[in-house]
Amino acid sequence: MKLHNCKYVVATGTTGRYAGCDLLAHPEVNELYCLWNCGFYSCETQVFNSLLILLRHGLTPDRIDYSLGYRHFKKDPEKDIYPDFHQIDSNQSLDFYTEVELPDSNKCQFGLYNFDVYNQIISRFFGPSNIVKERKDVLIEKYNIDFSKTISVLYRGTDKGTELTLASPQDYMTVVKNILKEHPDFRVLIQTDQTQVIQYFHNELGDKVFWFDETPSTSTSRVIWSLIEDSGRDAIDWSQWFDAALRCTSDCEYAINHTGNVGFWLNLYRGNTDNVYQFNENGQLT
């Protein structure tokens, strides 16, 4: 059983918080460790796919640990930041021994998604931490969000064009304006790492568009987490705001999405692809 850049540990006292402990003293160890050190949602995808693999074999960890991965998002390289973002709901049941094809987050695969299984995993292992929930509530109140009358746009720029073909902001705007023809009273939430895209949407839509000041953007081609890392800012704090923002983006009545790890997690948090328009890895609208 090969996991995706993760390690599953059962009944061992040699890893993480049990390092140096007597094996027999901790027979209850049943944990999943992430070993990946790329973007935040790239790391999340490794954990998610590893959980799918474990479920195929009738296994479920009691605990998930981020102490061996996520190095770009913490000052202490050995800190377990899983509790900073998520909490486990052990009451959420799981379907074991289900053969689910592993999704590729850099491909648009709506026909592949199995939300019956996905939603169980998200509910059990990726519920928001208390601080993420609090920050989501702050965003909802501050920006007066009515999700039932909001179109969200998730545009990934910066370095993503080196991995796949990006649709242009104008392509996203076309979809937005088509929806607004049917729902002229809707507002538009633009969530992007690219400052130029925010400016473009504001120029086109005026007061109908809004964005979160709490999540930064850049006019360069550098990925945001590297800028945060270089700035000395608390990457955990920023990432908690971003996760709260992404959860808001996922809750909107309509979502115009990109293909990639962040876009994949918008769909996972949403729990379905209803009213989701997504540009695929070739820059084409699906």
Task: Render 224-240 in DSSP notation, one character per residue.
Answer: HHHHHHHHT--HHHHHH
Interatomic CA distance for residues 188 and 155, integer angstroms: 13
- The HSE-up count of residue 259 (CA atoms within 13 Å, CB side) is 25
- How do residues 140-181 score in pLDDT, each as one tens digit? 999 999 999 999 999 987 656 567 888 999 999 999 999 999
List phi, psi (to 5°) of 80: -85, 105
- Phi/psi at 7 (nearest 5 deg)? -130, 130
What percent of the chain is predicted at pLDDT more than 70?
Answer: 87
Q: How far, CA to CA in Å, does 117 sit from each of 15, 197, 269? A: 29, 35, 13
Q: How far apart are CA 184 and CA 15, in angstroms?
A: 56
Q: What is the pLDDT of residue 23?
A: 42
Using the predicted structure, report yes or no on whether residue 89 has a pLDDT greater than 90: yes
Q: What percent of the chain has pLDDT over 90?
A: 79
Check if the beta carbon of residue 179 is closer than 8 Å to that of residue 215.
no
What tokens were used for 157? 């720029």
Strand partners, 255: 152, 276
pTM of the predicted structure, to 2 decimals: 0.91
Closest CA to 5 of 18, 265, 39: 39
Q: Under a CB-based contact definition with an 8 Å cutoff, are residues 151 and 89 in contact?
A: no
Give dist(CA 149, CA 251) in Å, integer. Answer: 11
In terms of Cα–Cα distance, which of 192, 152, 168 is closest to 277? 152
Distance of CA 64 to the CA centre of its chain: 16
**Position 134 pLDDT exceeds 90:** yes
d(CA 121, CA 224): 28
- pLDDT at res. 71: 93
Strand partners, 87: 127
Q: What is the average pLDDT score of the chain?
A: 90
pLDDT computed for residue 22 by the predictor: 47
Q: Is the dihedral of CA 38, 40, 41, 47 positive or negative?
A: positive
Helix, strand or coil, per DSSP, at residue 191: strand
pLDDT of residue 165: 84
Rounded to 10°, the helix 261-270/40-56 angle is 60
